[in-house]
Amino acid sequence: MGREARRDKRFFYILAPSAGTIILLFIVLFLIIFYISIPALRQYGIGLYTRNVWAPSETGPGDYGLLAPLFGTLVTSLISIIIVLPLSLSLIILTEEIIPPKSREIITSLVDVMAGLPTIIYGLWGVAILAPLLKKKVMDPLHTLLSSIPLFSCQPITGENILTAGILLAIMILPFVYVIIREAYSTIPHDLVEAAAAYSAGWRHYVRLRLGMIKPAIIGGLLLGFGRAAGETVAVALVVGNSFTISACLFKPGYTISALIANQFSNSLYYPLMLNVLFSGGFILLIIGLILNIIGLKMLKRAREYAQI
């Protein structure tokens, strides 16, 4: 064995415990959440995720069902990625194709600042500014004009509802999705860019071809953004309305699993099984996030492999 090989082996042994610790921490986290969830899963079975009820009891197990928070989590996250897709692509095209480099650096720096802001700042801004503004300028007019459509059929009582939570989440995950897709867009091989420019009949077709080249990265970024939105807590809790409501109307208040855990965790010590139910909510959130992240990372890997061709 050569000297360099022995040095590489020692270096591997030095770094391996750090990598192993990260893997071990994730496994321990997963097992702990699952273990604490077992009593609730045993008591309510699959009904814990298919029923909408929240009836704590100090003298018994109570009756719990997480369908409304699960529904709210999925719907608000879906709204967020529907909004963030055109926003992020428009911002990428603007910064990469239209404006000069100095302006691009300013916008990129502002996006980085947005990504670093504490989520409570978004929540306070959302409940104080965004929610009343959306109710007055968006929700009331939509209800007046399009009340026959189920999505807008209910009268908005306040601005704190599913739609506001989805829009706020879109603003919060925009920097995250933007960075992922922009990285893929900027790493398209130069020869492919030249070929696209030569083949295209115009600027719009050229941009469409470039976006088509990074389609896996776009899908992967949206999936990762969906997982990130599903786990947001404080900001969403301030604007979602915190009500066990399931409705096709976006103007109804709702709940998310993260908001439920944040609001009810301090009370869980006084009610049998409530803590286990909250951990069960965290467990299904962990499973959703794990699946989305695995698929999203695989899509990003495909995009990187395509960029190296």
What average pLDDT does the segment 203-208 reach? 76
Of residues 269 and 260, more confidence is placed in 260
- pLDDT of 232 higher than 70: yes
What average pLDDT does the segment 11-16 reach? 68
What average pLDDT does the segment 164-177 reach? 96
In DSSP notation, the chain reads --HHHHHHHHHHHHHHHHHHHHHHHHHHHHHHHHHHHHHHHHHHTTHHHH-EEEE--SSS--EEEEHHHHHHHHHHHHHHHHHHHHHHHHHHHIIIIIS-HHHHHHHHHHHHHHHHS-HHHHHHHIIIIIHHHHIIIIIHHHHHHHTTSGGG-SPPSSS-SHHHHHHHHHHHHHHHHHHHHHHHHHTS-HHHHHHHHHH-SSHHHHHHHHHHHTHHHHHHHHHHHHHHHHH--HHHHHHSB------S-TTS-B--HHHHHHHHGGGGGGSTTHHHHHHHHHHHHHHHHHHHHHHHHHHHHHHHHHHT-
Domains and CATH numbers, the chain: 63-307 (1.10.3720.10)
Q: φ and ψ at 240, to 5 degrees?
A: -85, -15
What average pLDDT does the segment 269-285 reach? 94
- pLDDT of 12 higher than 70: no
User: Model confidence over 129-153: pLDDT tens digits?
Assistant: 999 999 999 999 999 999 999 999 9
- pLDDT of 164 higher than 60: yes
